[in-house]
A and B are shown apart, each in its own frame.
Chain A
């Protein structure tokens, strides 16, 4: 959910739109925002499943340190989605455990 009105920061200004795909579904994002911001704005909280127990993980530190939010971006695994900005046409996938399917 986006914060459209804010008592200190004012109204959210218009931004150019970009389109990204998340697990095959097209979503709209604001140019310049992080991948995590675009995902949370669309209600997507899970970034990956852990290797051993296949547990879901999502945003935790938002400063690129904890690596809980890593996803597969344009075919590259382990991309920190809290510090990586969206680009038009980006293909994002929930990161599955290495070498196995994730239990969704």
Chain B
């Protein structure tokens, strides 16, 4: 068995930030990442981030992931790529399979950690309309991976379902990659994402069909057309309101949900928060879950943006180092205080207030026991 002070699961923005901050407190840190590439979903975020300078505004997500990874390595964090955690016991023992993707047989390891940070991210929601299983219907994030990471178009003509930021950004990036986007539809009557992203699509002439959802995907060996239907206030289809588009791909951008398998395996108590994507592990202000020594951060702790994930990661990293008996308590308290302040700033305003409120409820849920 190998022993470390802090084991971090997931090398996305939350996990890498946690690893860096724990390492800076003197912890021996191991990051375990199931993908062969570090950076989590930042590897496909080719757009620039918003917000303040200290949150990396103006930097493309793809560069942010690379710089976090380099910073982690420079501070002495160890990273295992292509390594999947398939067991978690007593909040301290991890079973890890390395080389599942690159080799045919994986090597298995047992890792003991004084504290654990779970930063496992989120997965995409789906919408089950007729024909949704046809090849060519896919998650918007899946299409984004294909165009921006693999540089391959999954199709030439696309309809996007969902006008949140993911739908808008992926729609625009499909255009950048050379595909045709025939429409963005959303059962909601207003655009869900930022106006600046929506404007990019409008300027390119992409029509929005608000109050419409995909009712059917047509085709045999794959999608050949999408049928959309207008819905009423209760989202019931309105007769004779269908429109049909010839497309070979339908991208579903219906939000994300926390990827909580390991948190459940660790025994973390879960709380439901619709605003934060569904069931999330209850946690305190320092990101510790209901299981002492198991911390959570990033989309797993409630789906938000990468900027929030990095701050939560910093908090979890500091908390995990302190739990492992490392660092100077005064300095950890001061750094945590600053990260919390930056998080509050990120959760202000029209797109933030409701998230701050939802987060407060999660912290209260844990303190109620």
Contacts and interface: CB of A to CB of B under 8 A. Distances in A.
A49 B42 CA distance: 32
Interface string B130-154: 0001111111011101111011111
Nearest to A65: B123
Contacts of A25: none
A51 B341 CA distance: 53
What does DSSP make chain A's interface, helix, strand, loop or mixed? loop
Interface string A8-45: 11001000000000000000000001101100110001
Nearest to A60: B138
Interface residues on B, range: 35 or more
A6 B204 CA distance: 16
A56 interface: yes
A85 B46 contact: no
B221 A45 contact: yes
Contacts of B177: 3, 6
A7 interface: yes
Contacts of B3: none
B189 interface: no
Nearest to B104: A76
B222 interface: yes
Interface in B87-101: 101
A37 B142 CA distance: 11
A84 B222 CA distance: 22
30 contacts: A1-B156, A2-B151, A3-B153, A6-B176, A8-B176, A12-B151, A36-B150, A37-B150, A37-B151, A37-B152, A40-B154, A41-B152, A45-B221, A46-B135, A56-B135, A57-B133, A58-B135, A58-B138, A60-B139, A60-B142, A61-B124, A62-B141, A62-B143, A62-B145, A63-B142, A76-B104, A82-B145, A83-B35, A84-B101, A85-B36
Interface of A: 1-3, 5-9, 12, 33-34, 36-37, 40-41, 45-47, 55-65, 68, 76, 82-85
Given A6-B176, A45-B136, A85-B102, 14 more contacts: A1-B156, A33-B150, A36-B146, A37-B150, A40-B146, A40-B152, A40-B153, A46-B221, A55-B133, A60-B137, A61-B139, A62-B142, A65-B123, A84-B101
| 7 residue pairs, one from A and one from B, having the closest CB atoms | A58-B135, A62-B142, A37-B150, A45-B135, A62-B145, A3-B151, A1-B153
Interface of B: 34-36, 46, 60, 101-102, 104, 123-124, 133-139, 141-143, 145-148, 150-154, 156, 176-178, 221-222
